[in-house]
Amino acid sequence: MDYQQVINNIYHEVKSLPVVGEVADYIPALANVDPDQFGIAIATIDGQTFGIGDYQCKFSIQSISKAFTLSMVIRHIGSQLWEYVGKEPSGTPFNSLVQLERENGIPRNPFINAGALVVTDKLMNLYTHPKEAILEFVREMAGTDDIYYDKTVAQSELKCANRNQALGYFMKSFNNIDNDVDALLDVYCHQCSISMTCEELAKSFLFLANHGINPHSQKEILSVSRSKRLNALMLTCGFYDESGEFAFRVGMPGKSGVGGGIIALIPGQLAIAVWSPRLNKYGNSYLGIETLERFTTDIGISIF
């Protein structure tokens, strides 16, 4: 398969589409991002990489980081996590408070904000220095030390974290948050501010395409069973209340972020990262979804 030619063709096709969507301007630091940047990168399990456009530009991965922290927690406490967070699609916006009250402070899944806060809370119980541990894990998965928090983005998110603060205190009232909420928000906003390129992002998710084994080091990160289940969660819940549409159109497990990034993978083969900051009404990259739909169509392969 000539992946470089495939993404070259898709890149030029998608670039010519009408301009649609806006950047995530509710986070001030993201409002200043050039909305017309666009990059695609593929990393394969056998060590090949392909890219086009702005695939070497750093951007804030935002909610894509939730897959990293979920992996870190699952590898230590396994199924115990599901006592505190569910495994079902939410059908509501990623920062919704509505379901929490009806469901006694148990978030519907680990990829909406409430669920991700619970996961990060558990991570804080596992690591004395959680921010350092998250960076170390992401660097190990990507095979590079050149990955950092974007302090400007982290501070910007902390200043407008009222909704996440409300989610945290509400869940704490149900005894589903252990740590101080402000300390939790500090870790959470930092994990969302991680800055990576498309190429680094694609490489960092290869362990989930490789049944839990990091192909850079051949180290087992997750068991085959846990890797399979995390991929299932990404397929059903990784795109907020557009997850069903993404599965229908694209047919790959994946995770999006409001920084405009999307990561998706084909188990046993590859991971593909796309970045375009213009978002649709669900908070997912408009060109990112267009790109990935064309990718699985053009190569004739998905998980189905």
Q: Catalytic residue positions? A: 63, 66, 188, 240, 258
- How many Cβ atoms from other residues are within 10 Å of residue 57's Cβ? 16
Is residue 303 within 8 Å of residue 47, measured between CB atoms?
A: no
- The DSSP string of 184-220 is HHHHHHHHHTEEE-HHHHHHHTHHHHTTTEETTTTEE
State both tokens at 284. 């997912």
Residues 6+ apart with CB under 8 A from 194: 60, 61, 65, 134, 135, 138, 147, 148, 149, 150
State both tokens at 281. 């009404």
- How many Cβ atoms from other residues are within 10 Å of residue 217's Cβ? 12
Helix, strand or coil for residue 41? strand
State both tokens at 144. 């590079």
User: Can you tell me the distance from the alpha carbon of 226 to that of 233, in angstroms, rounded to the nearest whole number?
Assistant: 11
User: Can you tell me the distance from the alpha carbon of 254 to that of 67, in angstroms, rounded to the nearest whole number?
Assistant: 9
Q: CA 255, 66, 118: angle at the middle one, nearest 5?
A: 135
User: Can you tell me the distance from the alpha carbon of 172 to that of 84, in angstroms, rounded to the nearest whole number?
Assistant: 12
